[in-house]
Amino acid sequence: MIDFNLVPLLPEIFLSLVGMGLLIVGVSQGNVSTRVICWASAAGLAITALILLGVGWETRTVLNGMFVMDKFAGFMKLLILTGLIASLALSVRYIIQEGMERFEYPILIIFAGVGMMMMVSANNLLTLYMGLELQSLSLYVLAAFHRNSIRSSEAGIKYFVLGALSSGMLLFGVSLIYGFTGTIDFTSIGETVSTLEVIPYGLTFGLVFVLAGLAFKISAVPFHMWTPDVYQGAPTSVTALFAIVPKIAAFGLLMRLLFEPFMGMSDQWIQIIYFIAVGSMVVGAFAAIAQNNIKRLLAYSSIGNMGYALIGLVAGTAEGAGAVVLYLAIYMIMTAGVFAVVLSMRRQGMAVYRLKDLSGLSQTNPGMAYPLAILMFSLSGIPPAAGFFGKLVVFNAAVASGYYILAVIGVVSSVVAAYYYLRVIKVMFFDEPADAFDKGIPFARRAILFISVLFVLGFAIKPNLFVSSSFDAASVLFTG
Amino acid sequence: MVDFPVLSLMTFLPIAGVLIILAIRGDEEVVAQNTKHMALYSSLFTFAFALFMYTRFDGTSAEFQFVEQSSWLKPLGINYHMGVDGISIFFVLLSSFLTPICILSAWDVVKTRVKEFMIAFLVLESFMIGTFVALDAVLFYVFFEGVLIPMFLIIGVWGGKRRVYSAYKFFLFTLLGSVLMLVGLLALYSETGTTDIPTLMESNIPIGLQYWLWLAFFASFAVKMPMWPVHTWLPDAHVEAPTAGSVILAGVLLKMGGYGFLRFSLPVFPDASAFFTDFVFWLSVIAIVYTSLVALVQEDMKKLIAYSSVAHMGFVTLGLFTATSQGIEGGIFQMISHGLISGALFLSVGVVYDRLHTREISRYGGIVKNMPKYATVFMILMLGSVGLPGTSGFVGEFLVLLGAFQVDTTIAALAATGVILGAAYMLLLYRRVIFGPRVNDDALSMPDLNARELGLLVPLVLLIIWLGVFPGTVMDKISPSVDKLISNYNERLELNVDPAAGPALIEYEEEGTQ
């Protein structure tokens, strides 16, 4: 049966066209048009989001089942697009300040976005790989975007080499899965797996390799080594992007993969996810204590946070999946706010990143210090901030499925993590003031910071708003 | 009864005050003045609401009153549920009474970042009241742990020399305890399918699970209380915190632990509570005797009072776990009385600290001559802390010991020695500070209490005496709720005498009926 109804694909098609169109504009106009292209890209992303809302989120597959559109994909794509718009808005002033005002920047973000949207809609191992690579290649280039900086180039190379390795592993896993099930279509794989009486080792191996590849993308232990270096080396605006968006896409992919075709093998993958969740939480908590660079600190924080999100996967229930989605959404919004502050840490026109540079910020620049403090409390999961509710739902999912030990490890590591989040607050509030930062935070950054803090504080008033929608979105993975 | 949400109003009125304070603009001087007034008014309004609630409270009923309920976290079935009963109402009153006092005590003392200080206190008040009126376990947890944020900042920003260390210690100790409770809470939720406290009190939880859950909740409440051996954060936090911070810490925050025992441990896990009774008794007795001995050798006034708090809290835990009406009522009364007495004691230490900027006992001596009013107030407080009949301190300790003697004579006898030790260290403190050798000239030239300080201390002193003479004011409203708690507790115990956990329980009950 040939299906030419491309409506569910419209957002991706439109976004690709925007990317290509802007590429032409950029090539003809040169780097002077960067600003315009940035805002045009943001507008393009926003329109894509509107189209996404318009195409309807009922479950449909197109292209012979290679691409699926459902509530889950819709919700994740909305998050991705929001994250991309936020990171673009955070970037504009920064790339000008740092002298890397080149028109490719927003266009690469757009293509990465197309890749991410493909990832969460992938219903076939090929689509999965295509989306993943489109995203990854754009991000490799972005990491090295500050090409005059050795660190940035190093970050790009490191990310690329390790990323290529992980893609290789993933591809190897895909080939094993294909070999043992005879299909690359998620639905067919799911049917095959559920009819197997004994899971062949080859299939398990294939799944392990695929998970290794994906664990790299979400920077989960033990595939996290690249994260601190790349976070530190990449231009800060790109770091912000890395921290905010790709993880949502990778999680979307991971969840669809595990809950749909491989649900029948949950005994196998739960052990793996359990291990990487514990590893990520513990490493994320302890390694961050020794960091003095805020970007590295945030890198470990993101490793730890991925660990918490993975707890929801271990639970293996609709509740757990909903918890993951909610956790990621909250994490994304908090991180965007944190990076709005980090990007504004400039002294005499130079960006500074040491934790010490924040000394006494509550006195020199309360407008930055208070929001950051609120976000840090939220990241450490202290109620009534939004971060607490994220942790509440994932731990709840774990406990409901009987993973008490995992929940205890989780909460204890969150206490350890609280130590370094508190350190940021301590430096800002308890220490003697250092020189003030440069004035003049651009409007876009202030707006993002404001929205983020408002969300964090206001979440507790009407939590239903977000909790229901993310639980709804995740539930389709279990009904279909 | 009233037809508007008085509990929510009380809880969030201070937050409204914060919002108004945030809008205040102008010169630093003007902002500081307006902020102080705004903070004072909003805390006074809150207290007025609390008094209003008190007058409308039906003291003959053991039911939750002024109940509010609405949907909150729908997918998890968690509701916004508030209400007070005889157990919680006095904690609400205590919180809303001490906050304006703290704000006034900081009036001329806190000079840096006044606005932030006041905001922190109002947020703290809101969370404290929320903790005591929340009737949903998750909501309770949100407030209970949220308290850490303002307190961390109060100690860390306005504290003494080792403030950073103390703030961290306070935060991480309590957080570690709390998160274990969170896991317990979630396990409880997955077992019963609800986090509604009144429903939880009715539900029967398997005994094996009860033990674990009891321990998880105990981790949190024991740290908060604090019980020996997890009390070490308290002396540090008290010594470094500014006066107002110490007052609220000793006055209200410590009571959250005891309140938690009453709300969760005893009613929800009765079998586990019975099983662990001896364990709690011994910890309490060790706390009473050991920390009293430690208090004897302290050179720092605040540290001495901090250790005495641990000892007094030992009486509270002892009383609560006797599960007799005298013991529990005594425990609650002791908490309220300790809230007033230790709060006032920390205020008095603050008074001399503001003048001399030291808390070292040996730097004072003989100040009765130049500060007669201070000496009088301090004496009443000291005697209250010792537990002299006629002060509120006596009623609580006496009832607790009465309850304890019914259950376990050895424990009660050991605890009673704590009363003597308590008298020893407090009298020693009083002698060294107020009388003692007149050697320090600067101490001898300190002016007596001014009008503001008198205004702060006198209401507290009067209340301490009032409650000592007319304990019925409090007791009458507590007893119905406590009776209900105990009858539920005993009913559930009888229901669950299963052979496996039998010996400990049966033995205990036999002792209890002697």
* Helix residue spans in B60-162 (DSSP H): 86-105, 114-133, 137-146, 148-158
Contacts of B186 in chain A (CB under 8 A): 392, 395-396, 399-400, 407
Nearest residue in A to B74, CA atom = A464
Of B324, B309, B340, the residue nearest B227 (C-alpha): B309
B426-441 pLDDT per residue, tens: 998 888 888 878 777 7
**What sign results for the dihedral spanned by CA atoms A178, A183, A188, A193?**
negative
Residue A133 contacts by C-beta under 8 Å, 6 or more apart in sequence? A115, A167
Residue A4 contacts by C-beta under 8 Å, 6 or more apart in sequence? none
The region, left, alpha or beta by phi > 0 then psi within -120 to 50, assigned to residue A95 is alpha
B183–A415 C-beta distance less than 8 A: no
B36-79 pLDDT per residue, tens: 888 899 999 999 999 998 888 888 888 888 888 888 888 788 88
User: How many CB atoms sit inside 10 A of residue B143's CB?
Assistant: 21
Residues in chain A: 480
Give me A208's structure tokens.
């392990």
**What interface predicted TM-score (ipTM) does this complex get?**
0.91
A400–B171 C-beta distance less than 8 A: no
- The Cα B379–Cα B377 span in angstroms is 5
B450-468 pLDDT per residue, tens: 888 888 899 999 999 999 9
B180 touches chain A (CB under 8 A): yes
Contacts of B117 in chain A (CB under 8 A): none
User: How many CB atoms sit inside 10 A of residue B494's CB?
Assistant: 11
DSSP assignments along A261-285, one per residue? TTGGGHHHHHHHHHHHHHHHHHHHH
Mean pLDDT score of chain B, rounded to an integer? Answer: 87
Contacts of A322 in chain B (CB under 8 A): 75
Of A288, A176, A292, A160, the residue nearest A221 (C-alpha): A288
B173 touches chain A (CB under 8 A): no
Of B419, B209, B450, B242, the residue nearest B314 (C-alpha): B419
DSSP assignments along B244-285, one per residue? HHHHHIIIIIHHHHHHHIIIIIHHH-HHHHHHTHHHHHHHHH
pLDDT tens-digit profile, chain A (480 residues): 455 688 889 999 999 999 999 999 999 988 888 889 999 999 999 999 999 999 888 888 888 888 999 999 999 999 999 999 999 999 988 888 888 888 899 999 999 999 999 999 999 999 999 999 999 999 999 999 888 889 899 999 999 999 999 999 999 999 999 999 999 999 999 999 888 888 889 999 999 999 999 999 888 988 898 999 999 999 999 999 999 899 999 999 999 999 988 988 888 899 999 999 999 999 999 999 989 999 999 999 999 999 999 999 999 888 899 999 999 999 999 999 999 999 988 888 888 889 888 888 888 888 889 999 999 999 999 988 999 999 999 999 999 998 999 999 999 999 999 999 999 999 998 888 888 888 888 899 999 999 999 999 999 888 888 888 888 888 888 875
B153–A395 C-beta distance less than 8 A: no
* Mutation to test the B interface, candidates A289, A326, A376, A426, most B Cβ within 10 Å: A426
Give me B489's structure tokens.
């507790």
Q: Which helix (H) or strand (E) is A351 found in, with range?
A: strand A350-351
B180–A408 C-beta distance less than 8 A: yes
Q: How many CB pairs under 8 A join A and B?
A: 94
From the list B146, B156, B187, the residue facing A384 with the nearest CB is B146
Helix (H, G, I), strand (E, B) or coil at B83: strand
Residues B369 and B448: beta-carbon distance below 8 Å: no
Q: How far is CA B107 from CA B128, B152, B282, in A?
A: 21, 20, 42
pTM for this predicted structure: 0.92
Residue A246 preceded by cis peptide, ω within 30: no
- The Cα B367–Cα A389 span in angstroms is 53
CB-based burial, B301-319: b 16+ in 10 Å, e otherwise: bbbbbbbbbbbbbbbbbbb
- The Cα A290–Cα B62 span in angstroms is 53
- The Cα B463–Cα B341 span in angstroms is 9
Q: How far is CA B213 from CA A356, A420, B163, B265, B514, in A?
A: 42, 29, 34, 9, 30
B156–A415 C-beta distance less than 8 A: no
B470-509 pLDDT per residue, tens: 988 888 888 888 988 888 888 888 876 654 544 444 444 4
Residues B115 and B21: beta-carbon distance below 8 Å: yes
